[in-house]
Structure 1
Amino acid sequence: MTSRASRFWRSIFVIARRDYSAILFSRSFIFFLLGPLFPIVVIAMAGGIGASVSGQLQNPKLGIAMQAEDVDAFVAARDKLARTVPDTPEVVVVLRLKPGENVMTRSLLDRVKDGSPIVAILSGPLSNPKLTGAGGQIDRWEGPVTLIAAEAMRGDTTALPAVNMERTITAKADTARKRIRTAQASQTLLFLLTMLLAGMVMSNMVEEKANKIIEVLAAAVPMDAVFYGKLIAMLGVSLTGLAVWGVFLSPIAIVGAGLPTFAAPAVGWPLFLLFGLIYFSFAYLLLGSLFLTIGGLAATVREVQTLSMPATMLQLIVFFFASYALGAQGEPIEWVAIVFPLSSPYIMLARSAVDGALWPHFLAIVWQAFCVALIIKGGSTLFRKTVMKSGPAPAKRSILDRIRGKREPA
C-alpha cells in the first residue's frame, strides 16, 4: 500500500513538473503576464473617473441647524476663512430656528443623511456649539468649526469657544464597518484573480486531447494522477504569475491608495494575507477541477469557447452569492455559503476580515480539500469511462444472425 501511494505521488509530481516547465518556459507565459495589464489599465481609468465624479457629487458637508442670526454669522465667517483655514467644511443650511426653538440633532441627521452628502450637524449657540456626526469626520472638523465660530462671534480668534462633540457611530461600530469594506475588497480581488486564471485549465486539456498526449499519459500513470498533476501545475503557474505581478504592483498599491486605506482585518494583516493565499489556491483548485472535467469532455476548442460563457456565469453567481452572504452574518445563508464548496473560499476569506476566530478556517480548509479530491475523483472517473475507450463497443448481433452463425460450417 505504501509503495502504491508513493508511486501515485511520484506520478503527480512528474506530470506537474512537466506541465509547469512547459508553460513557464514558453512564449505564451509572457503574454499570460501581459494579459492582465489591459483590464488593470481600464479598471484604473474607470475607477479614477468614478472617484472624481463621486468626490464632486458626494463631498462631505456640514449641515447647520441654528438660530437665524447665528446661521448667517457662521456662513459669513466660513466664507471668510475658507482660504486660510485647512479642512474648512462645506456648509449647508438645514434649519433656521426661531428664538427659543430647539431641535434633536440625531433625528435630524438621520432624516437628511440618506442620499445626502451631509454627514454632520452643527447646532446650539455660537458660544457653545454642538457638532453631531460620525466620530472620524467630526474629529477632523473640530478645529475649523472652533475657529469659524470664534470669527462669527467677535470677528477675531482670541477667544475660542468649546465645541461639544456627539459621536453617532462608536469606535467599535466604525471599525466593524471598515472591516466590512476590507472583506468586500478581498472577495472582489479573489473573484477577479480566479476568473482570470482558472479558465486556462479547459483549453490546456483540450489541446492535449487533440494532440493525443493525454492518451500517452493515461497509459503510463493513473488518470487521477494526471488530473492532480495538471491542476497543481496550473496552480503553480498562476502563483508564479501572482508573484511577478506582486513584485511590480505592491509598491504602487502601498505607496498610493492601497493597504493604508483599509481597516486592519480581525485576524491581522500577516494571517489575513496567508489566508488569502490559501483560499485563492482552493478557489482555483475547486473551479479548476470542474473546468478540467469540462475540458476533458469537450472534443474541440470551439466547444470550450461555447462552454466558457456558462463557466463565467457560474463564477459570477458564486461571487454574488458569497457577497450576499457577507451581509447576512450569523444567518443560515452564511452557513450555506460556507458549506457550498465553490463559495466557501470567498466567504471564509471575508470572514477572516471581520471575525478573529481561527477554528472555523481549519474546518473550512479541510472541507475544501476534501471537495477538491472528490471532484477530481469524479472527473477522472467520468473521463476514463466516456473518453478513454479502446474502441467502439461491439454491436449486438440479432437472433437471426446468431442462428445463421451456428449453421455455417466451422
Structure 2
Amino acid sequence: MKRVLAIVSALATTTLFSPFSAAQAEGEFEQCKTRLSAQAKNEGVSDKVVDDAFASIAFQPRVIELDRSQPEFVTTFPSYYSKRVTDWRVSKGRELLSEHRELLNELEKQYGIPPHYLVAFWGLETNYGGYKGKMPVLSSLATLACDKRRSTYFTQELMTALKLMERESLSADAMVGSWAGAMGHTQFMPSAYFKYATDGDDNGQVNLWDSEADALTSAANFLANLGWEPGFRWGREVALPDNFDYRLSGYKQRRPVNEWADKNVTLPSGSTLPDSDIDAYIVVPAGHAGPAFLAYQNFRVIMRWNNSEFYAIAVGELASQISGSSGLAQALPDLPTYSRDDIMQMQKKLNQKGFDVGKPDGILGPATRAGIREYQLANSLIGDGFPSLEVMKSLDVKLQADANS
C-alpha cells in the first residue's frame, strides 16, 4: 500500500493527469473495479468468470508510470534497426521458417501471406516467443480503464479480455503480456485477439501464448483482414540520384514505380527498377546519408499493425533476409543521439526563423521534418528533412550531449 501511494503521489506532481490522489488511490480503484465488474456482467460475461477475474485484479502503479513516461532520447533509425534486424534474428527466423514450413505454406494458400513475413512479425513482436511479457493483463487493463486519460478504450479492451477468458477457457494467471495488455506470441490486444485469432492446431481453443500454430494462423488472418495484397512485396531498398529532390519523399508523393525510374531512382546496384505501374513512395529514415526505400501498399499494411515506418522497414527487411537477401546495400550512418530537449530547441529555433513546425514537443513528426526541409533548402543544405548535426549547428542548438560531455 505504501508503494502504491508513493508512486501515485509522485505521478500527481507532474503536469500529466492522474486520477488517483495519494489519499484516495486504493479506494477509488476499488470503486472503479466494482463499476467495471457490474459492466462486464451487464455485457453478458458470466458471474463466475467476472468474480474469479476480479478477485485477482489489482492496481498496477507501474502501468500508470509507463503510460505517462516519455523517452528521454529520440530513437534514430540506425539505432532502432540495428537492435531488431540482427544476425541472430535472421538465423533463427530461417530455422523456424524451415521448422514450420508445412503450416506456413498452408497459411499462404489460405490467406495470401508469404511465410517469411509471418516469421518476421513473430521475430519483431516477441523474439520468436522468447519474451511475451510478464505483466498481469487483466490488472493492467483495469488500471488503465480506471485512468481517465484513455478510459473508454481500455474499458472496452478489458471487457473484451473477459469475454475471451470465457470463450477460450483461459485463466487469469495465464493471461500475461505487455503493460498495455498485448498478449501472446504475436502481441495481440484483446480486441484483435477476439476478432482475428484463429485455432491453428484444431484443438478447439485459441491460445496465443502456448500454441505457435494458433499464433501464426492468427497473424495471417489479421494481416489478410488489414488488406495485405498477395503477390506483392513490402517494398525494396533503392538508390537515389545525387540531385534527388527530397520534397518528393513521403506518402503524399506516391506515384507509379515507372515514374520513379524516370526520375533516375534505381536498384542499389544501379540497375533499372522493375517495369511496374503500381504506386510506391520514397522513405528516407536516416537522411540522405542513409539507405532509401521504395514502399508499396503492403508497407502501409504493416503500419496498420504498428504505425511506425521504422517498424515497417524492420519487418520488411527481416522478412527479406530470412528468405535469403543479404541485407542493406547502403551502410547505416553513424548518427548523433538527440535528447527530446535537443529536438525541442531545434523546433523553437525553426519557429523563430519563420519555419512553422507547430508547438515544440520533441517529436520528429511530419510538420517538423517539413520545417527542417524548408530551412535546409533556404540555407543551401541538402533538403532531406533530417536533423543532422549540420542543421543543429546552423541553428545554434546547444546539444544536451555536448553539455554533459
Query: TM-score if structure 2 supplies the norm length?
Result: 0.21
Bigger radius of gyration, 1 or 2? 1
Q: Which has the higher helix share?
A: 1
Larger RCO, structures 1/2 (Cα 8 Å, 6+ apart): 1
Query: TM-score if structure 1 supplies the norm length?
Result: 0.21
